[in-house]
Amino acid sequence: MIELRTPAEIDEMRPAGRFVASVLTATRAAADVGVNLLDLDALAHDMIRAEGAESCYIDYHPSFGASPFGKVICTSVNDAALHGLPHDYVLRDGDLLTLDFAASVGGWVSDSAISFVVGEPRPGDLELIATTERALAAGIERARVGGRLGDISSAIGDVAHEAGMPVNLDFGGHSVGRTMHGDLHLPNDGRAGRGLKLRAGLVMAIEPWFIPDTDEIYTDPDGWTLRSRTGSRAAHAEHTVAITPEGPLVLTARD
């Protein structure tokens, strides 16, 4: 069931959004050449404890995961597109890193992701990241009362297609509330004017992710990390957004 949140409930969701944004800001600042992915996970874990928050990942065990995730942040490096399981890996110059983090504060969840390059970027990496961020901005702009879910999907897909990138439809955005993944599924491509009518109080994670030359992925032997079939790099951008009468409200906006 897709639930709508009252204005008071959306206000109650703001601390979770601010916290998730603060963790991504801190872990991005800490990510550098020579830093271990496990250190980034430990930093996020320390911030969860200090906040009195709850991890959405550590016990997460959906049908596509081999076991409970066991960590508190996703760290996807280079050809890892989604769900990167933190492991004993030391970041190298030029690595493209995605951090994806969700947590519950006061019983409300927010979810967000950011991609960036550690050290000197390779040709094409910055444009890939910029395309993903443009798609996120385009999707957020269409998250308005009276529109359709397909308007958001179409806006995201249009940015990808204009850049010549294919779009995977297996994983996309989702509704957010008391749990991380609600019933709503938001594909990263679609037809405008189709799908669920957008109403005030709908809260969702909008999350385009692109690989320049393929929409095919496979699961790493770790049972979690999803990698590009061609070995090409991937980028991912995500915000938790509430639809309000005044327009889209980005709960996970970073300073």
- The tokens for 215 are 């929409």
Is 95 one of the annotated binding-site residues? no
Q: Is residue 149 one of the residues assigned to a domain?
A: yes
Q: Is residue 106 one of the residues assigned to a domain?
A: yes
Contact predicate 177/219, CB 8 Å = no
Contact predicate 98/44, CB 8 Å = no
36, β-bridge pairs: 90
Count how many domains the chain has: 1
Rounded CA gap, 96 and 212, in Å? 14
**Considering the entire predicted model, what is its pTM?**
0.97
Is 111 one of the annotated binding-site residues? yes
Reading the chain (255 residues) residue by residue, the pLDDT tens digits are: 889 999 999 999 999 999 999 999 999 999 999 999 999 999 999 999 999 999 999 999 988 888 999 999 999 999 999 999 999 999 999 999 999 999 999 999 999 999 999 999 988 999 999 999 999 999 999 999 999 999 999 999 999 999 999 999 999 999 999 999 999 999 999 999 999 999 999 999 999 999 999 999 999 999 999 999 999 999 999 999 999 999 999 999 998
- The tokens for 156 are 């995201």
Range(s) of the domain holding residue 187: 7-250
Q: Is residue 255 one of the residues assigned to a domain?
A: no
Q: Is residue 18 one of the residues assigned to a domain?
A: yes
* Residue 205's CATH number: 3.90.230.10
Contact predicate 10/201, CB 8 Å = yes
Residues in CB range of 92: below 8 A, 6 or more apart: 33, 118, 119
100, β-bridge pairs: 74, 113
Is 174 one of the annotated binding-site residues? yes
Q: Is residue 1 one of the residues assigned to a domain?
A: no
Is 83 one of the annotated binding-site residues? yes
pLDDT for the residue 1: 80
- Tell which residue, 101, 91, 47, 96, has the closest CA to residue 69: 101
Q: Is residue 108 one of the residues assigned to a domain?
A: yes
Q: Is residue 92 one of the residues assigned to a domain?
A: yes
pLDDT for the residue 148: 98
pLDDT for the residue 65: 87
Q: Is residue 242 one of the residues assigned to a domain?
A: yes
pLDDT for the residue 63: 85
Is 238 one of the annotated binding-site residues? yes
Is 100 one of the annotated binding-site residues? yes
